[in-house]
Homo-oligomer: A and B are copies of this chain.
């Protein structure tokens, strides 16, 4: 499996992905699931992928080749660096994914595997607001809106409660990064199929560049401080909750 999370905050976008891929517990490997493109001062684009690796790699390869071939006679008319807006890029990406699923889906499912895949796409192009999309393998997509300022793909449940409780649009980028790391750490601890290292990217608003773009290892001192700090804080928080043992007396006296 995989776990990827993206936050859409007033200060910009935060993206975090793991790097573990598995086809059963005895076939675990490490693959990059975060892809970034940058024309500093003009646009910054980030994608994260989950699901069938052959499908998502096929999409990423086609998108990357289109950028490399720009100007060649046979090159696609549009690529990541030339699309006028991210909504159009979501359409192009969704179409590529749907075509690949149509081409290979039946054969993949015949082998007992799933061809389902999903992609988170986000970033900002100069003169436009930051945008964030979730694209499904059927080619359709949704945009992250006002009410829930985050999107997740892959093994999403373990890391969802902390996001549900703490993330709002007003959350700062710094706090957003920490919360994403905690959400990821929760998934890693509770599920073998999500694993370090992690890829972290931040697209701060109106910078049109990648403000943070780094790989975070399990032994990274900042990550360790966040992870250990979180464990300690949770234990303390449970201890500080109001006691409930008056419920014992209730039954004893009834």
Kindly identify which residue among B162, B175, B241, B252 contacts A229, using a CB–CB cutoff of 8 Å. B241
The answer to whether B251 and A214 touch across the interface, beta carbons within 8 angstroms, is: yes
Chain B proximity mask over A223-239: 1 for CB below 8 Å, otherwise 0: 00110011101111111
A181 at the interface (CB under 8 A from B): yes
Complex formed: what's the CA distance from A89 to B62 in Å?
A: 59
Contacting residues, chain B, for A191 (C-beta < 8 A): 157
Kindly list chain B residues whose C-beta atoms are within 8 Å of the C-beta of A248: 202, 204, 211-212
Interface residues on A, range: 35 or more
Q: Which residue of B lies closest to A175 (CB)?
A: B238
Q: Give A164 to B185 CA distance when docked, in angstroms.
A: 12
Contact A225 B237, CB 8 Å, known A160-B158, A251-B210, A251-B212: no
A178 to B132, CA, bound (A): 37
- Copy number of this protein in the oligomer? 2
Separation of A243 and B243 alpha carbons in the complex (Å)? 32
* A213 lies within 8 A of B251 (CB): yes
A237-B230, A242-B226, A247-B177 known; A186+B161 contact, CB < 8 A: yes
The answer to whether A189 and B164 touch across the interface, beta carbons within 8 angstroms, is yes
Q: How far is the CB of A253 from chain B (nearest CB, A)?
A: 12
Question: Which residues of A in the span 151-191 have a Cβ within 8 Å of any Cβ on B?
Answer: 157-162, 164-166, 173-175, 177-179, 181-182, 186-187, 189-191
Judge if A140 is at the interface, Cβ distance under 8 Å. no
How far, in whole Å, are A186 and B162 apart by their CA atoms in the complex? 8
A250 within 8 A of B: yes
- Pairs of residues from A and B, 9 with the lowest C-beta to C-beta distance, nearest first: A157-B157, A233-B237, A161-B186, A174-B245, A225-B242, A160-B190, A212-B247, A178-B241, A229-B241
